[in-house]
Structures are given as structure tokens and as C-alpha cells.
Structure 1
């Protein structure tokens, strides 16, 4: 579904201009625009984090006030207070701004679009996960020896505001520059997160699945060019004789079913990897965008968990082991990852794993006043697409093992981390992304990193390596989205495009 999101972003991005900036705090001059008054009121109401103020603002200015009030409250749980930084777009009926989290230090672009009379907002766009073009705060890369005190103060403040719960590790080569743990891993029992707490990784799991496939390829047990019909003969032949392992690894197969609720429910209830396959076979006729009829390989990136579920099936059938057993014997044990789990029966026996927390109840109703356990959203197994648990220290060992040739030889490592397919290229803000085999490579201005992100309800992970700086940034959170705030801020500290 990532392509739909990217298409939205492409339409949303417009060239922008930066205003004069102070060396410490960005200064901002409001443009002479009819929407500026509304935008100022938006920020006053939003930053108050007061339900009455937010509802009064939304009722005054928005054509769908209840929806907007809820979106503002949701946004505050992710970013905290926001301050204006730069104008991104000005037209007669709209104004777009880059906003910076006052304490979270993460970026978001918000655009307000008015109706014909200019007195009501008929549309609101919000773009997360990007950053402005050009030189950014702190305007100069932070020296490694200054990282520790800065991040300690920054993360402690976020934790006190309940804007972060989890663990963070930053390293340069074989030297850990900073590591810290914050918040509760189990609120009911009063257990705190620590540096050995194991967190659900969500989609960062895909890196393990890709490494496993690469290991099997290196041993000559499969080829990336093999059609999946060779390993999954029961899959419909008109699909399986077109789709290769390469297509699965790069999300270019076109196999995608997650728009169909019964399929998603079957995946959540799956008890093993074969059950994930059975779910696809059962609901095949409900493939997204009506692709099942006259199926053709998509041959362009369209992110889909179904690809990696099938890779899990291939790993099991080629290796003769369960997915969990394969990871344990071929990745976890060789690297010394004693705090990592792909077997939930073993995870259940470990008291030092983090419970996920969310503002959504089991019916997806949002309540900004109470974090709840995310048990209603958890899968029954560690899916090859997003279910492994690990700690920040283990993930650091893991990425180091990849980079030092402990898990793969040089040629296969290069194939794994090669940019195989372009995900997006937003020239307006100088950001581009490519997908490797189970890893993402993103260039943001001058800085480039390799890794993966993971996010689902009550779960968030950022797993990144910056080759030019030889730096590792690992952030795991049992609050979901808040994992992205520290990771994005640390990226700006490493390279603010100076």
C-alpha cells in the first residue's frame, strides 16, 4: 500500500522557501496570506492540548469539525507542541508549513485548504516522515562526544512528557556513544524498560527474512531468479510461474491482499507460517486493485507483507526448519543475540519483554487520555513480515555482523544491500528512497542510511546504519509512532546538511 501513500506525497510536495534562522532557534515570519490567521489559531488550539480549545477551533473553521478535532489530538500524542519553521506552499486557497516538534524535534508538513469564501477549511494535509530541504537545526553536525549528554537530556524530557517509552542506542563503529532506556515495559506490574528489554520490531523483521534467504542463496539452495512455483507448487500457477524470489524481496510482485478484512483477520490468527500461506490461497480472489484477474507481475515497488510471508514459507521448505528455528540457529546464535525471539512460546517465558501501548481500544476508538495494552492488535506468531522481538543491543550486534561479514560473504552482502528498485524520489525536498533485499536505503539531503522501519499499533522501530559516518542508530518503542521522533532527531544531529 506504500505506493498510494507516495502518490499522495508527490501531489502534496511543492517547492518551499526558508526564512531567516537563528543559530539556536528557528525564527519564522508569517506570510501575508488569508490562511495565516487560521493557521495561527490552529497552532494556539493545538499546542494547548485542551479538548475544549481544540473543539472550539475546529467548530469555527473546519467543515468537518469532529474529524479535525480528533486528528489534532492524535497528532499531539505523536509530536507534542509544534512551532512553525518554513512555508512550503502559498496559493489563494491554501497555505502549507513545515512544523517542528518543540520537544520531540521531529518534522511534519501541514497544509490548510480553504473553501471558496475563504472562511472555512475544507481540506487538511499532513505529511510525516520527511524533513525540509537545506540546512536545518542544529545547523552543524554534532560531535560524537557531545551525543551522550544531549540525548540523555532530550530523551529524559520526552519520557517525562510521556512522549517516549523504549530504548535507544547510538554507536560509531565498534564504540557505543549512547544507550538508554525509558518508560514502562509493563505498566500494570510497574516493570521498567531497560537495555536488555526485548521489543516487537514490526516490519524491521523483514531484514531477518531477507538475510535468511540470502544465506540459503549463498549456499546454493535457491536462486533469486527462481520462480516461486518451484517451492510453493500449490500456489496458482498463473501467478507462481511469473513471480520470482527477487520480486518478493523487493515488493515488486503485485501480490497484495491487505485491503480485505477477512484476510487480515486470518493472518492475525495464523498459528504458523503455513497458515499464512493458507490465508493467501483462501482469499486469493480478493487481491488488491482487482489484480487477480489476468495477473501480471507488477515490476514496480508496492510494499506488501504478503511477499515476506511467502519468503517465510520458502525458508521453511528449503531449510527443513521452522522460520523461528532457522533464525535462532543461523542468525541469533552465531551473532550472540541472546535477547532476540522468533518463537513466541519462548518469548512468553521471558519477563523482560515490552508490552505495547496505544491510545486505541480494541474497536479502534481513539482515547487521548489513556494508553491501553495493544493485545487486541497482536499476531499469534512471529510472522516473517513483522513479528520478531529483539533488543537495541542485539540489533547493534546484528547490523555489525552484516557489515563485518559474519553472516554473509562480501558478494552476497553487496547483493543484499544493493538498491534494487526505486521507491520514491522527491526532488522538491531532496529526498529519495530505494528498496534493497529486505532493507531500505534513504537519502535525505546529504545524509544516507540503510536499514528498516517498523510500525504497528503500540509498536515502533527504527534500525539504521549511516555508512559515510559509520554510525548505527537503533530506536525501539512500545508506544508505536514515538520511536520515529528520536531517530529523526538523531539523523539531524548526524547530518543537518551542513
Structure 2
């Protein structure tokens, strides 16, 4: 992933809910806004009819799908429609997978959250290696920044080449702020955590997540797909990048094209060849519902470390328009954790050129909601409709 972009933060801003020791509320019947033909359903259809939405939305209660809708095309060249089980690039919405992998290794006693970076990885400047902790990286409080503005993205041709580039980039980072004193969203910090997972586990990061998260959670379509797989696998949606003239271009087939509006101009995640600890794992909407179920059922973490994973650690200023219903936001060990209408909601969102994503677990109501798009769009506006439909 490239350094922080506005688009990568959009979905993240609206996710909410820290796991407090509160009883679950009694289950209620499906709100009318979530029923087929209800307000949320009509809202999505209207967006799609205006070609302002392409993707899959799934809302489930206690793992049972209540509303599933797919619009648009996963691959316009081959005329393949988006379906309920289409796979999408998650962008930063896969950061919680990185955090979960780290928490699993802590549960196994193979690292501690207070461990200094230099205890596990070499090559960093002495002040970075000796002061930045695993906790700092997980909570975006490391104080790390790259001394130079990001240059043009290169086109990578293999996993090893991309991995080595991320290692070099990480070791060029310097301390902008004293660790622990300021929260600043930091994708490169999560790329370092991906490297940490590989070093501590003895497995490549992508392999570790496959074996210890995707497999036990029952997520058969989820993976860190490479660009060639993204190009040829008909199950995976292509990103359609909005251009200045209003057209959209397939980012996987046209690596020379990038974002021109908002976010990080020129960015195109397909150039990276493969995702990293910083983001761009792939999943389908049903797989993300399975992820929520696996968390709840203790298949991924024991109870104590589950609470460590989902509870808010560091307060963050709210993003987006003022909302009196949104409580204070926090960062947990990967997910975003805050309150909305007094309810706990856990999740994360993200964006790439030609893609916008968000998943939310409504902990007190047993709802899980997923928004996966292969268009650039304001996913926060859709999240607001989702929140209102579920908790309104």
C-alpha cells in the first residue's frame, strides 16, 4: 500500500465500536429499512441505476443474510457481473487481518506488545529500533514518517521484489514524533507489522494469514491474490478507476492509468503485484460474514486475547461531517472501535483507485454488514445509510 490517502480513510472513518463488557441487547425483528424493497435497498438501487455504485452489499443477522445485493460488472471486457460471492480487493479494510495475526502470535507467547521493533527486525535506525513498540505500530502511534514525499509508483513483477521494496522503504522511515504521543494513520507501519508476522512465525505473511485466519474462519475465496491471478480469475472484481472526463478505466488491465480525482493521484494498487500487511487482501462478502462468526465463536483467538484485539486503545478525532449520534472513536489492535447511538460496532474500511470497501460488526445487535465496491465512491455515505437502517 502507498502512504495514507484520503480515500483509504473514508470507510475507516465511519466504522465504530469497542468491545466493552456489556450484555447483548435482545434480538429484534428485521428493521423495515433492511428488508427487500426497504429504504436501504432502494437507496442502493438508485445509486446503481445512476452508475454511481458497482459492487456487492450484504447485511446479515446472526450469520443469516437478510439483504444481499449486487450491481454492475466485475469485468466489463468479459461482461462478468458482480455477484453475491464476487471477490474484491479490500484495500485498508484488510489491515485488521494484519493486527489479528500479530495478536495471535502474542497469544502464542512469541512476541509481546511492548516488544521494541529492533527485538524482531534488523536494519532500522537505532532510535526507531529502540523506541517503537509493537503496540505503537498496531495503534498508529509509532511517530514514523518517510522523509521524502512519495514518488511515482513502480510496477512490480513478483512477490519477492515487492517484499524487498517494502523492507527498504520501511528502513528509510524516521521518527517525526515521539512514539506514543500522537495518533497518525500509518499504512507503512502495518507493512512493517506484516514483515514482523513473517519473521516471528517463520512463514511468509500471506501464507500465515491463509493458514491461521482464512482457513480456520472458513473463508475459501479470500487470499492475497497476485496481479496475474487478479487478471485471469473470473471470480475477482476489477477496479474501475474514475478519470477526469468521467470515464472509468480497468486498473488491472491498464497499469499506466491511475487515480486522477482525490486520494493519491496516480495511484493504482494493481502495480504492487500483491498486497501486504498494509492492505489489499481480497475477500467476498460471505467470507467477511464468516470472519465475524469465527471471531465471535473463538476460532481465531481465545477470550482474553479476543478482548485485547477488539477493545479500543487510542482515541481518535472523528472524521467526516459532524454527527451527534457518533460517539468517540478509538483504534483497537487492527480494527476501528467506537460507539454509534450507544452501540458497539467494530470494523474497518478502505479505498484504492477504483475500489471502496467497509465491513462492520454490530457487536450488541449481532449484525454484520459488508460494502464492497469496484468503483471510486464516497463509501461513507453508504455506511451512514447502513447505520441508520440497522440502528435507526
- TM-score w.r.t. length of structure 2: 0.82
2:354 to 442, 447, 458: 458
Q: What are the superposed Cα offsets for residues 396-415 of structure 1, whole Å, 9 maximum, x if unpaired?
A: 10111112211000000000
- Tell me the equivalent position of 2:384: 488
Equivalent pair of 1:274/1:313 in contact (CA under 8 Å): no
Query: Are the structure 2 counterparts of residues 3 and 443 from structure 1 closer, same or farther at C-alpha, using a change threshold of 3 Å?
Result: farther
Equivalent residue number for residue 276 of structure 1: 166
Query: Displacement of 1:495 after TM fit?
Result: 2.1
Aligned to 2:293: 400
- For 2:200, the equivalent position in structure 1 comes to 318
* 2:260 maps to 1:371: no
Deviations 1:425-474 (A, max 9, x none): 59974332100011001323444411001112111111101122221110
C-alpha distance in 2, partners of 1:467/1:259? 41
CA-CA distance at 1:488 after TM superposition = 1.9
User: 1:165 touches 1:479 (CA, 8 Å); kept in 2?
Assistant: yes
Q: Any idea what SS the aligned residue of 2:67 has?
A: strand
- Please give the alpha-carbon distance, in whole angstroms, between the structure 1 residues aligned to 2:115 and 2:384: 38
Q: Distance in 1 between matches of 2:41 and 2:32?
A: 13
Label 1:258 to 1:384 Cα distance change in 2 as closer, same or farther (>3 A).
farther
Aligned-CA RMSD value: 3.0
Aligned pair in 2 of structure 1 residues 305, 206: CA closer, same or farther (>3 Å)? same
Deviates more, 1:445-454 or 1:198-207: 445-454
| Structure-to-structure mapping, 1:223-234, within 5 angstroms | 223-234=112-123
Gaps of 5+ in 2: 16-27, 256-267
C-alpha contact 2:225 2:282 (8 A) present in aligned 1: no
Q: Which has the higher contact order (CA 8 A, sep 6+)?
A: 2
Q: 1:2 to 1:357 in 2, by over 3 A?
A: closer
For residues 198-347 of structure 1, the aligned pairs below 5 Å read: 198-257=87-146, 260-262=149-151, 265=153, 271-281=161-171, 283-284=172-173, 287=174, 291=175, 296-344=178-226, 346-347=229-230
Alignment partner for residue 187 of structure 1, among 76, 80, 94? 76
Match of 1:25 in 2: none
Deviation at 1:297, TM superposition (A): 1.6
Q: Name which one, 1 or 2, has greater alpha-carbon Rg.
A: 1
Cα contact 1:228–1:241 (8 A) shared by 2:
yes
1:441 to 337, 353, 356: 337
Q: Residue 144 in 1 paired to residue 28 in 2? A: no
Work out the number of aligned pairs and report it: 351
In structure 1, stretches of 5+ residues that fail to align are 6-77, 79-127, 131-140, 361-365
TM-score norm. by structure 1 comes to 0.65
Contact 1:267 1:279 in 2 (8 A): no
